[in-house]
Chains A and B, each alone.
Chain A
Amino acid sequence: MVKANYIRMAAVAMAFAASVGAGSFLGSLRVSHAASISQTFSGYSFNAGCNNAIDAASMVFTQGSSSIYEIQVHAARASHGGYSYVAGLDQYFWNGSCSLAHESPATGDDFVSRWHFRYGGQIFTSDGGYASIASPHFDQRVFNPFPQHCTTTFDGARANIEYHWITDGGEHPTFYYSWWGNTYAFSKCGTLVASNGWNTYIDMNGVPYGS
């Protein structure tokens, strides 16, 4: 009788363990549903454990087509600032896990000073459609004594994209800001560089945000 009870208790315990697994699976189906932009991305991927999170993420492209090349194609246009050079990826973004950047548009090659951003996406979000996170920055060419790129600003580079995409080219009139608090400071060639913590969202197709 005692032995039988032990067997039953073991069976109950095993049933509990198995059902935890089953529930976890069901729960994972639940969380695989689209999350909001703020739940999907981290502007603070360095602290999320991502390798080589070398630049602050301060921009999100929303309402994309789901093609990872879409932003690259737009960026290369003269009306969008002429980010026609494809630079190195080597930055990870947090979008639920650490993911290597998909594309790396820049206004020049490795041997000149340039505007540059890397981006990762496109991830479907509940409030921004297909969205990508980006890390605009300006690379100042220096010789130290070997040629290097020293980042001098994040916010200035974000403004450069805002100017060309929203104001000058005018193809992306729908945008908004929110505070991410992504102000973590980096030392770049001895100089402190940090974002002011604001994030710009630029709509890719001009459809009013949320519509």
Chain B
Amino acid sequence: MIPRRTDFTAAFLRSFAVQGSWNYRTMIGGGLGYALTPLLRRIHAGDPVALRQAIERHAGSFNAHPYLSPVAIGALARLEHEGRDAETCDRFRTALRGPLGALGDQAVWAGWRPFCALVTILAVLSGADARLAVMAFFIIYNAGHVGLRFWGFRMGWHAGLDVGGALNRSPLRALGGRLMPVNQALTGAVVVMLVARAPGFEPGAWEAGLVAVAALGAFILPSRGGVLAMGLLFAATAAWFF
């Protein structure tokens, strides 16, 4: 039976809790099964055995970026609706894991989210009201977040097995790639402004020079730079006490 609008709405809303039972064995598998349940109940209406088998199958090991998990929910529901066999569903789910994780990490975690956060920080450090700026961050960021989930869910349901091709044709990969250099530049601006706006701290020329060397050195050697930078913060604490 084809799912109704209410089933789609319920599954979409449940996708926001897809990471609710994250664990090291099945990762978001339990959440995937939970989100799929309203659709599977309709698809397998009148066949409780098929419903249980489908839920057990989809609650197995799975991982994806949470914002792109609706792609998997939509596509897997489509496969179940089309009556594909269990092996096809399993192989499809396994094939989806990598792309949905990598694409989301690049486009959202390394692209959209830092972009929105860094622009917000720059706005406040340039004089904008912190409360308004944070509210704007929340609204604009989530317009992208919820829009991506909705697009993914629709696309997954309509594309079914061809979801890989649809993802490749989407602008997501390009978005992440384009935002990364922008985010680097924004981070440079934010670091300079945070240092300059630190309360009661007025850096002289040599201090400003040291700050530039520290930032650039850490950029070039991030693994050592990160440890050294944290060490400096703890050394600052020690200097205060001793």
A and B assemble together: no
B residues within 8 Å of A by Cβ?
none
A residues within 8 Å of B by Cβ?
none
